Amino acid sequence: MSETIDHGKRHFLSIATAVTGIAGAGFAVVPFLSSLKPSARARALGAPVEVPLASLEPGEMIRVVWRGRLVFILRRTEEMLRRLAGVTEFLRDPDSLNEESQPNYAVNEHRSLNPEFLVVEGSCTHLGCAPLPQFEVTPSTDWYGGFFCPCHGSKFDLSGRVYKGVPAPTNLKVPPYSFTQSNVITIGIDSGTV
């Protein structure tokens, strides 16, 4: 019995085996690479948040969550805006000189694009507690309304500027935001304008 080697058949089998191995490796790599993509939840946490303002009355505040952070949006009344000038002598950084606390367009007395709307992160700059809104003026004190952190006594005015002599070192942070419509704020998209 003579054994003859069929080189054509052997070549075909070698190629078929290589192609099957490459396809199998491709099927094994696809799920691994897919696992490296951020989940839908992770993408949503970093996404901008649109907040309609039409139903927000003067003097009211709403809370939203952006990137896992609490954000306060306060629609200030004319009276609240008038109080801002009277409190500057009690503040640690009345001119908002700390550049890390807000975008450039919020370096002003009202710390906002539109004086009527304050947008700040609701996290005390001392230890990250959530300050409470206390907008009423307290007679015979230096309290003109603002935010009070009950954990350690930090106080912030109606622009989120920190008072002197409290544990919080800096003003409340202003997140990047823009007015995408006259009555809609988008938190997470920097307007880049004044």
pLDDT digits (tens, 9 = 90+) for 91-113: 988 888 887 888 888 888 899 99
Pair (55, 104) in one structural domain: yes
Residue 192 lies in a domain: no
Active-site residue (options: 11, 110, 126, 152): 152
Paired with 149 in beta bridges are 154
123 shares a domain with 32: no
What CA–CA distance (Å, rounded) separates 26 from 100? 46
| Lowest-pLDDT choice from 38-42, 64-68, 87-91 | 38-42
Residue 84 lies in a domain: yes
Q: What is the CATH number of the domain that holds 137?
A: 2.102.10.10
Does residue 174 form part of some domain?
A: yes
Residues 93 and 144 reside in one and the same domain: yes
Give, in order, the Cα–Cα distances in Å from 127 to each of 25, 30, 64, 130, 151. Answer: 50, 43, 20, 9, 9
Is residue 152 among the annotated active site residues?
yes
- Residue 194 pLDDT: 40
> Is residue 180, in this structure, part of any structural domain at all?
yes
Structural domain contains residue 126? yes
pLDDT tens per residue across span 153-182: 899 999 999 999 999 999 999 999 999 888
Q: Is residue 115 part of a domain?
A: yes
Q: Where does residue 76 rank: exposed (0-12), middle (13-18), buried (19+ CB within 10 A)?
A: buried
22 and 50 share one domain:
no
Q: Is residue 132 part of a domain?
A: yes
- Distance between CA atoms of 140 and 4, rounded to whole angstroms? 110
Shared-domain flag, residues 87 and 155: yes
Same domain, 8 and 49: no
User: Side chain identity at 158, as an amino acid letter?
Assistant: L
State the Cα–Cα distance between residues 55 and 45, nearest whole angstrom: 25
Name which of 67, 86, 100, 108 is nearest 169 in CA terms. Answer: 100
For residue 9, what are the contacts with CB-CB under 8 A and spacing of at least 6?
A: none
The predicted-structure confidence for 22-47, as pLDDT tens digits, reads as follows 888 877 777 766 666 655 555 556 68
pTM of the model: 0.75
Assigned domain for 134 exists: yes
Strand arrangement, sheet containing 154-156: 132-134, 146-149, 154-156
Q: Does one domain contain both 33 and 54? A: no
On whether both 50 and 27 belong to a single domain, the answer is no
When divided into structural domains, the chain yields a total of: 2
Q: Cβ neighbours of residue 58 under 8 Å, at least 6 residues apart? A: 75, 76, 77, 78, 116
Of 132, 138, 134, 135, the residue nearest 152 (C-alpha): 132
- Whether 135 and 51 map to the same domain: the answer is yes
> Same structural domain for residues 153 and 64?
yes
In a shared domain, residues 72 and 16? no
Domain that holds residue 10: 1-37
